Structure 1
Amino acid sequence: MAYLEERDANGNFSKAFYDSHDSIVTVTHNEHSRDGRRSQSGSRVIHLIQFLVTVFLPTGYPDSVTRDYIDYQIYDSVQAFSSSISSLIGSRAVLTAVGVGDAAATGTSAMFITVVQATLGRLGTILFAWKFGSVLELECKKYRFGADLVNNAGIVCDCLSPYFADRKSVMILFLCCSGVLKAICGVMANGSRAALTMHFTDAQKGSISDVSAKDASQETVISLLGMLAGTLIIPYLESTTQVWTALTFLIVVHLWTNYLAVRSVVMDTLNRQRTSIVFAHVMDHMSPALLHSDFLHKPSVPVLAILSTHQVATREHVLQQDGALQWGATGPVMGTATFGSFAMVARWLPSTMSVHDLLSIFTDTGYVLWYTTTRVRGQKHQHVTVNIALLDYTDDSRDIRAWVHALIIARSLRSTTQSTAHDTILHTLALVTALFESGNATTALTSKGWHISPGRTMIVSGSVPRVRVVNT
């Protein structure tokens, strides 16, 4: 006798079918649960849990998302709950500042303040998106955490505004700062959330739109619960001490759980910081002396020298300086590197070097770079600044190679400062070439779960220009 089970997209039992006396019998979920294997009350609980999973988690969960999804969502829910309550405290302070409950206040003045605040907030949104929109994906963890830092700063401005009710200009200044900060928070949060949604969605079984929609559903419920809790708590916050104690506690909980949330994310793409951590470990593992010429004769990069995605996630910093050339996660910041126009590279070239000479050095690399050093007062080593220009050249590892080259240059200058920039670049380029070509670093990275195909690295933003070599 044939017996068929029908299950929903999450793998839960829906119906069963089997043959019986020339007819097909259909068994529903309730009938299936009363077959003696489960009690009726237990079945109801399981059915309720399955229903909640279907409503609030992505279709096909857990197979449709990555393993770090649920950890992130748990922390994210706690931080959203605390943020909802603190936002209510700020909203009450704003209403007090604009004159709610004050017989001398007018609706027109309150409307004027709201219009000015909203106008500056929208301008802040436009300017911040123009300046930083292209880098939100590269550093999504940093900007996701930074969004809540900025949001909390805006709430603090709201809470300070009532203290200057008799000085309208100062009060309006605080409210305008709050509007701008919250607008910037919106850009940072939405941009970084989009990048995280792409990360959480399984490429084969998941749907980005579904993950995003379910995330919105979760946030709506948590925010609603937070507002309901806030309406019960806020009436008891009467004195200044009570208000600021409660606000401080909520901000600490908000930031701490948000920090844990972004720390729980295990990215499988290489951005600048993760590239520095991975390749600093590779170089330390393969050649402690780093710059000894025997490194050029080493065999392929051993897979054991490559840190896994989980190992890097535990080492990377949430708040990292943009473009910092840091050796590993705990090493010193040796300088900075910037991807930009070819003019940035050309201005540092020696007067005796032509563009043709520069291109001859970086044959088939897909990039050109040059560096300069500056002495920093109170520091033993010089600060290295590397400018990188990308050529119109397609290669899976080009962006990674360019960043690793800049990192090795900064490290080599810690060991010796006697060589010229030309010699240093030639020697470090040989190390990079050995690492990626004879060392097969790309293959080793892939075997440890890193995705470095085109469009899957987060080292260079889309706004960086590419240089097309028309004639050499």
Structure 2
Amino acid sequence: MELDRLIVEERDSNGIFAKAFYDAYPAYSESEKGTQQAATGSIGAVVEVSAHHRLGQIYATGRRHPPSRVIRYLQKVLHVFLPTGYPDSVTPDYIHYQTFDSIQAFASSIAQLLGSRAVLTLVGVGDQNATSTSALFFTVSQETLGRLATIMFAWRFGSMLEQECKKFRFAADLVNDTSIFFDVLSPHFIGSPVLKLSYFCLSGILKAVCTVMANGSKAALTQHFTDDSKGSIADVAAKDASQETIISLLGMLAGAVIVPILTEEQPTWIVLFILIATHLATNYRAVSSVVMETLNRHRANIVFSSIIDAVAPQFLDAEVDSISEISAGMIMSPKQVSRCERILERDGVLRWGANGPIMGKAFVGSFSAVRKMLPPDMTIEELLSLFGDGNTGYVLWYRHVRSRSRRTSNVYVQAALIEPSDSGDEDHMQSADEIYYGAGTREKSAHHQPGFDTRELRVWVHALFLARKLFLQHHASMSSGGGGWGAEEGMKEEARQVISSSLRMVDALFGPNGKGAEALKSRGWALGQGRLMVVAGSVPRLRVRPRTA
């Protein structure tokens, strides 16, 4: 039968071919009618060909030799566990993450069975002297401490789970494997009730913390994987749960075969370490394959370090003009950053690049922490004057933290955010960028949209540039045989000069003439409203009330 005719294809929501329709020729011979009716069940004006028929597969694949029936059924089964509209409904890194995530879930399911067997031994299964009351007491103690740990961890770290989702997703499995290790180890202390209860409760606390980290980071990853225009977050989350269910089921079935064989202690520990190593290795590969398009603190360190290395490596004042002329080619893309970012980077670290030296730490918090660093004779008005009378949207100060060897440069930066003042115009609320850089900022730069605010990004970049400038000054002084910092810690004039010069570099990137934000967006970084994830958690904001006559 010929294929050179008008064909209408029908595909399901996943894009899989279901049926084809085409117009029949006006007349058939008797033999052709019989062949056509046997193939399609129809000899009317419109012919319908299903995907189960060989001719339908030819239409679907465009090949004379389509996949076998077994392959087609496997494809259908696979699509049961994939989001509707895959692959268009998710990001390109989705399948890489899910592949390694499925392998690590399989290994974890078997390891958990080993831990569960040890826990049953701990609470007295097989022990004639054990009572159900003691087992109940152990369970209640574990559940109580576990739920308290859930509340405390969510209170302390819940607001950080989204911006550090890759770190917390991997950390969750580290904690989970530690709890499994304690479960398997606990029967060895069966003669000591105190140690037995301690290990049992510690394992419960770790499992509770793992649950909070895993659920929070998975929610952030689900949002990342879902395509904004074609995907559904609920569907991606539901299919992820389906995948976990089938993988856990397969892991339990495999464990039901493996665990009874492991009756000796040494083989049990060997298998456990193999499973844990597989679990952590594949989980690391999974989170490393995720290409985040949002800037958190660590990714901001990498991106802006590479920019300055390209245009102003010596941090000289003469190099400021070249910063405003950066192009998209000088900026690392999200995929390039994902290849070199550290999964377990410490919080608040000011590191130059991905593998460069740690120059200090920075934190955005309350003004009280900033005030404690100020020189005794410095007033609030003097501090605000360094930051455009507070119009920058933040203030910061720093102090040196000297190491014992006095050979390393460690800077501690503390910042506080300032809320934009009320302009009185309800139709147009000015952002911190517009207040600081001028009302015409939005017209001069295409990236400035209503509500667009780079304040959180600017304060972190300012801290990074400040730390780098001090780092270079320190090492230059040490190389020339000087005393290192050159001035006493906390000297006002030195600090004012460093803060002002580093602020000019930030303004060269984000000001009306700067191309920093535009270049970032052109390289694929998400800078829209609510997409900046630099400030950790919920922090207080300042409001500056000017003097009244």
Same fold (TM over 0.5): yes
User: Does 1:390 pair with 2:417?
Assistant: yes
Give the CA deviation at 1:421: 1.1
Give the CA deviation at 1:43: 4.5
SS at match of 2:53: helix
Give the CA deviation at 1:319: 0.5
Q: Distance in 2 between matches of 1:205 and 1:36?
A: 28
Aligned to 2:426: none
Q: What number of residue pairs does the alignment pair up?
A: 471
Of 366, 369, 387, the match for 2:393: 366
Aligned to 2:48: 26
Q: Distance in 2 between matches of 1:23 and 1:33?
A: 18
Deviations 1:153-182 (A, max 9, x none): 111111111111111111010000000000
SS at match of 2:201: helix
Deviations 1:281-317 (A, max 9, x none): 110110221x211112225112221011111111110
User: Does 1:293 pair with 2:368?
Assistant: no
Aligned to 2:121: 96
Q: Distance in 2 between matches of 1:333 and 1:384?
A: 9
Give the CA deviation at 1:131: 0.6
Of 279, 304, 315, the match for 1:279: 304
Aligned to 1:4: 8
Of 446, 468, 493, the match for 1:411: 468
Aligned AA (2:528): S
Aligned AA (1:388): A
Aligned to 1:239: 264
Aligned AA (2:19): K
Give the CA deviation at 1:85: 0.4
Give the CA deviation at 1:36: 6.2
SS at match of 1:42: coil
Q: Distance in 1 between matches of 2:373 and 2:529?
A: 30
User: Does 1:87 pair with 2:112?
Assistant: yes
SS at match of 1:30: coil
SS at match of 2:345: coil
User: Does 1:422 pair with 2:444?
Assistant: no
Deviations 1:125-174 (A, max 9, x none): 01100110000111111100000010011111111111111111110100
Of 13, 18, 35, the match for 2:17: 13
1:61-460 matched pairs, under 5 angstroms:
61-289=86-314, 291-298=315-322, 299-363=324-388, 364-393=391-420, 394=431, 395-416=452-473, 417-418=485-486, 420-437=494-511, 438-460=513-535
Q: Distance in 2 between matches of 1:420 and 1:41?
A: 74
Give the CA deviation at 1:374: 1.8
Show structure 1 runs of 5+ residues with no match: none
Give the CA deviation at 1:53: 3.4
Q: Distance in 2 between matches of 1:83 and 1:326?
A: 34
Q: Distance in 2 between matches of 1:220 and 1:202?
A: 24
Q: Which has the higher contact order (CA 8 A, sep 6+)?
A: 1
Give the TM-score taking structure 2 as reference length.
Answer: 0.82
SS at match of 2:355: coil
SS at match of 2:48: strand
Give the CA deviation at 1:5: 1.4
Is 1:12–1:50's contact at 8 Å kept on the other side of the alignment? no
Deviations 1:96-131 (A, max 9, x none): 111101111111111111111111111110110011
Is 2:19–2:56's contact at 8 Å kept on the other side of the alignment? no
Q: Distance in 1 between matches of 2:356 and 2:409?
A: 15
Deviations 1:17-42 (A, max 9, x none): 34457754433222364676778993
Is 1:33–1:40's contact at 8 Å kept on the other side of the alignment? no
Q: CA RMSD in A?
A: 1.9
Give the CA deviation at 1:367: 1.2
Aligned to 2:436: none
| Deviates most, 390-399 or 196-205 | 390-399
Q: Distance in 2 between matches of 1:28 and 1:470?
A: 73
User: Does 1:467 pair with 2:489?
Assistant: no
Give the CA deviation at 1:221: 0.5
SS at match of 1:420: helix
Deviations 1:221-252 (A, max 9, x none): 11111111111011111111111111111111
| Deviates most, 24-33 or 341-350 | 24-33
Q: Distance in 2 between matches of 1:379 and 1:184?
A: 39
Is 1:117–1:179's contact at 8 Å kept on the other side of the alignment? yes
In 2 relative to 1, CA 317–379 (structure 1 residues): closer, same or farther, beyond 3 Å? farther
Is 1:33–1:43's contact at 8 Å kept on the other side of the alignment? no
Give the CA deviation at 1:355: 2.0
SS at match of 2:373: coil
Give the CA deviation at 1:3: 3.5
SS at match of 1:457: coil
Show structure 2 runs of 5+ residues with no match: 27-43, 421-430, 432-451, 474-484, 487-492
Give the CA deviation at 1:10: 1.7
Q: Distance in 2 between matches of 1:287 and 1:306?
A: 14
SS at match of 2:206: helix
Aligned AA (1:453): G
Q: Distance in 1 between matches of 2:225 and 2:514?
A: 31
Aligned AA (1:269): T
SS at match of 1:347: helix
| Deviates most, 430-439 or 60-69 | 430-439
Flag as ranges the 4+ runs of structure 1 deviating above 6 A.
Answer: 35-41
